[in-house]
Amino acid sequence: MKGEYGASDPFCQPLVVRTRKWTIVTALKQLIRFGWEQARSCVFPVVIFASLALTKLVPLPLLPRYDWLLVICLLMQWWMVRSGLETRDELEVITLFHIIGLALELFKVRMGSWSYPEEGYTKLFGVPLYSGFMYASVASYLCQAWRRLKVELVQWPPFWLVVPLAAAIYLNFFTHHYWVDVRWWLSSFVMLVFWRSWVTYEVGGVRYRMPLVLSFLLIGFFIWIAENIATFFGAWQYPNQAKAWSLVHLGKVSSWCLLVIVSFLIVATLKQVKKEYVDREEAGHG
């Protein structure tokens, strides 16, 4: 064989080598597919970041920057529903997140945790209304990724445990200003409650699974990166960034992880409730 075809002929390579190369190529293709679906799910956050950069570098006429950001977010939300990128059910979830996020913003700005120093006509008690869309964009990502990747939950804890936990995490963002900060206790409780829970998702017809706790950590970390980008472009400002921009403290990852957990728990609970409702309807018609 060597004399006829040459040692470099690919058909002379051991089967295990060709199999390994095929496995690597397949894994890369799956990674690209996964990245593409993630990118499509991040349309709303990407538009917000692009708008922050554009309005920072190129001042727009007629309205202050915060007001233009609100106009852009409203137009983007309308277009996503109009084009079918988001369903009306997802719009309801996103609106809920807008309200939850805006309430948190109003409180945090009042307590001096961060500020919005620029002028704007659409500011309420120092908080521009576009800020709620930053929370809504997280919900938009979760809803779209859930649908595109056909997410399913394995060993999901009972409703009576999930809802109080989500409420306690959200309330701690408020109460720690007046009482003990129990975020680490809540984080430990999350680890305990979801230790056996998995999230499964589909890429290119193949299903994968990931520990739910790991997904919380990964999403929280990437949102922390996004927060650094947002503060760099002046979306909001922490007290230590008043004179010059600096990296957001890594400790903020814990806050974002908890916020992601609240977001995920709300979306997951609503998905579970809707699934049970649909199953009952189908059973009734059957």
| pLDDT digits 0-9 by tens, 134-190 | 888 888 888 888 888 888 888 888 878 888 888 888 888 888 888 888 888 888 888
**For the whole model, what pTM was predicted?**
0.74
Cβ–Cβ under 8 Å, residues 261 and 169: yes
Identity of the amino acid at 239: P
Distance of CA 22 to the CA centre of its chain: 33
Q: For residue range 49-107, what is the model confidence (pLDDT) as tens digits? A: 888 888 888 878 889 989 999 999 999 999 988 888 888 888 888 888 888 888 888 98
Give me the numbers of helices (H) and strands (E) for the chain, helices first please.
10, 5
pLDDT of residue 190: 84
**Over residues 257-272, mean pLDDT:** 76
Tracing tokens 């305990």 back to the chain, one arrives at: 192
* 229: pLDDT strictly greater than 60: yes
Both tokens assigned to 80: 């996503």
Q: Which residues pair with 123 in a beta bridge?
A: 128
- In order, the DSSP letters of 134-156 are HHHHHHHHHHHHHHHTT-EEESP
Tracing tokens 């929280």 back to the chain, one arrives at: 220
* 267: pLDDT strictly greater than 90: no
